[in-house]
Amino acid sequence: MSVRKLKPITPGQRFRVVNEFDAITADKPEKSLLAPLKKSGGRNSQGKMTMRYIGGGHKRKYRIIDFKRNKTGVEATVVSIQYDPNRTAFIALVQYTDGEKSYVIAQNGLQVGQTIVSGADAAPEIGNAMPLSDIPLGTIVSCVELRPGQGAVMARSAGAFAQLMAKDGKYATIKLPSGETRMVLADCFATVGVVSNSDHQLVVGGKAGRSRWLGRRPRTRPVVMNPVDHPMGGGEGRSSGGHPRSRKGLPAKGFRTRTKTKASNKYIVERRKK
């Protein structure tokens, strides 16, 4: 994986840094694993805008991803590594020995022709999905479940990974990408390896139009609003707006908003860094 800086032959390309996509091996998705994806434009079922700054964007088809990896003990061969417009990570099309095809999140180093498998008997190799109880300590993992059978919910984006720190009884302690260390049931599945496309963080859009392609509309800064619209609005001239806070008045940038009585607090060993 690598990135390429474009020559400034147009204003939009002056700062543009693009992904080379050299890990991609196929340009057409598997039709049987596609689903329609309808845009809401930030509106709810009544047609009222509930999320601002959403709308437009390129038309997409959803790729049905197997986050559960519950087809245990059946080997699958990697057919191709593909781009997915709905996520930052690359995805891998795999074919099981019984002929079934499926999409999974691709890990760094996953190659076409490689065999992957899920289950307690799998070896701790890149692309294999296993319960945390069977993964050696110190292993780098990704696509981690929070509850057994739920499917991967943590460390799924490009370049993300978690580390298995300890095991104690029915719980395993993992360090998450945010820096938080928390306990998860050892029966939860995780995939060995770092999520692919780790160079995604180096990509630079170069122009406002690229945000529009992604369905993001221009965002109004709270400081330039009126007092009726935002707590940070109003004032004479270019006043700073006071302490940073949300539209509802909740302080931001350092103010801890997590409920002190939240039930899952007992599973958090160390909070994420500020």
Joined together, the tokens standing for residue 260 give 């002190």
- Give the position of tokens 């049931």: 185
Prediction pTM value: 0.92
Cα–chain-centroid distance for residue 43? 23
Q: Does 1 have pLDDT greater than 70?
A: no
Joined together, the tokens standing for residue 249 give 């008045």
Distance CA 168, CA 71 (A): 27
Q: Does 230 have pLDDT greater than 80?
A: yes
- Mean pLDDT score across all residues of the chain: 95
Distance CA 162, CA 107 (A): 13
Fold of 221-274: Ribosomal protein L2; domain 3 (4.10.950)
Buried b (16+ CB within 10 A) or exposed e, 130-141: bbbeebeeebbb
- What's the rounded mean pLDDT across residues 91-95? 98
- Give the position of tokens 């498998």: 117
pLDDT of residue 68: 97
Query: For 186-204, what is each residue's pLDDT tens digit?
Result: 999 999 999 999 999 999 9
pLDDT of residue 184: 97
Joined together, the tokens standing for residue 34 give 């596609």
Q: Are 191 and 69 in contact (CB under 8 A)?
A: yes
Q: How many residues does the chain have?
A: 274
Tell me which residue of 133, 131, 61, 134 sits closest to 103, measured CA to CA: 61
Could you tell me the CATH superfamily of domain 3-201? Nucleic acid-binding proteins (2.40.50.140)
Distance CA 165, CA 182 (A): 10
Q: Reduced to 3 states, what is the DSSP secondary structure of residue 185?
A: strand
Q: Which residues contact 66 (CB under 8 A, 6 or more apart)?
A: 102, 103, 104
Domain ranges of the chain: 3-201, 221-274
Count of alpha carbons within 13 angstroms of residue 111, beta-carbon side: 4
pLDDT cut 70: percent of the chain above it: 99
Among left, alpha and beta (phi > 0; psi -120 to 50; other), residue 141 is: beta
Query: For 2-55, what is each residue's pLDDT tens digit?
Result: 899 999 999 999 999 999 999 999 999 999 999 999 999 999 999 999 999 999
Q: Does 211 have pLDDT greater than 90?
A: yes
Distance CA 75, CA 96 (A): 6
